Amino acid sequence: MNLLSGKKALIFGVANKHSIAWAIAEAFKQQGADVGLSYGIPQLEKRVFPLAESIGATFVEKCDVTSDSEIDEVFSKAKDHFGTLDILVHSIGYAPSEELEGRFYSTSREGFRIAMDISVYSFVALAQRAQELMPDGGSMMTMTYYGSEKVVPHYNVMGVAKAALEASTRYLAADLGPHNIRVNAISAGPIKTLAASGIAGFRKMLGYVNERAPLRRNIDQAEVAGTALWLCSDLGSGVTGEVVYVDAGYHILGMPEPPEQWE
């Protein structure tokens, strides 16, 4: 199938082969898209360049999204390389590690600022530049997590940032809809990526979901990529401002199935 043939996609947030952004890049390429990649820090270059080569992506640029000038530079290069764009993927999130230990109550002003800048404002900043390269419309997408809606231990300021990211998705969708640009978020269940590797007790969280989610399993990057594919292709043409869950159904539960030892 060629769901994205003739479409040009710029994907931010590839760190390594485990990144959600990478699974999306592979799926988009497989469906005929011309894919460009961006990564956040110079040390990732040795991981990202070979990945880019494997899908024939020749646009590979570093961009620290805390810098307006770096963002401007990447989009200036994207304009030279692609001319126009059809798809923007934002798959970036960060809070200082100390904010993901302890309690939300202890969040520092600087930790809050950094989490909001990198995890939320960056989507707005990228959307502004991408919009200029989408004269005939397009699709933009970001990645969120259920900790935005309900309290998840230690997700802390990232939960507050994801709530703001989901609200930003709706405001962007309202502003860009008249330009035929759709803006959506995918709320993924926990996946063992680089961003999850430093989190204490992450394996326990995977086990918790595995036992309780309606599908009784976890989800993987390829399943997120499948949803990204229909949202960004013409199959998703009527959908904007939405948060789509790829979480094995976990978010629908009000109470877990009582385990047998409680009976």
Footprint of ligand 0WE on this chain (CB under 6 A)? 93-95, 97, 100, 145, 152, 154-155, 158, 190, 195-196, 198-199, 205
**Closest CB 137 distance from ligand NAD, rounded Å:** 24
Spell out a b/e string for 106-121, using b for 16 or more CB atoms within 10 Å of the CB, else e. ebeeebbebbbebbbb
**Quick one: how far is CA 230 from the chain centroid?**
15
Nearer of residues 82 and 202 to ligand 0WE, judged by Cβ: 202
Residues 228, 249: Cα–Cα separation, whole Å:
17
Rank residues 44 and 196 by Cβ distance to ligand 0WE and give the closer one.
Answer: 196
Q: Are the CB atoms for 219 and 189 separated by under 8 Å?
A: yes
From 39, 145, 245, 250, the catalytic residue:
145
169: contact with ligand NAD by CB under 6 A: no
Residue 44 or 100 having the CB closest to ligand 0WE:
100
Host H or E run for residue 9: strand 8-12
- Say which residue the tokens 């800048």 belong to: 117
Phi, psi (deg, nearest 5) at residue 98:
-65, -20
145 binds ligand NAD (CB under 6 A): yes
DSSP H stretches of helix in the chain: 20-30, 45-54, 68-82, 109-116, 122-132, 156-176, 194-197, 202-212, 221-232
* Residue window 19-38: x/- pattern of binding to ligand NAD, with contact defined by CB under 6 A: xxx-----------------
Q: Which of 146, 155, 245, 250 is catalytic?
A: 155
Could you confirm whether 146 is annotated as catalytic?
no
Would you call 245 a catalytic residue per the annotation? no
Q: Which parts of this chain interact with ligand NAD (CB under 6 A)?
A: 13-15, 19-21, 39-41, 44, 63-66, 91-94, 118, 143-145, 188, 190-191, 193-196
Catalytic site residues? 145, 155
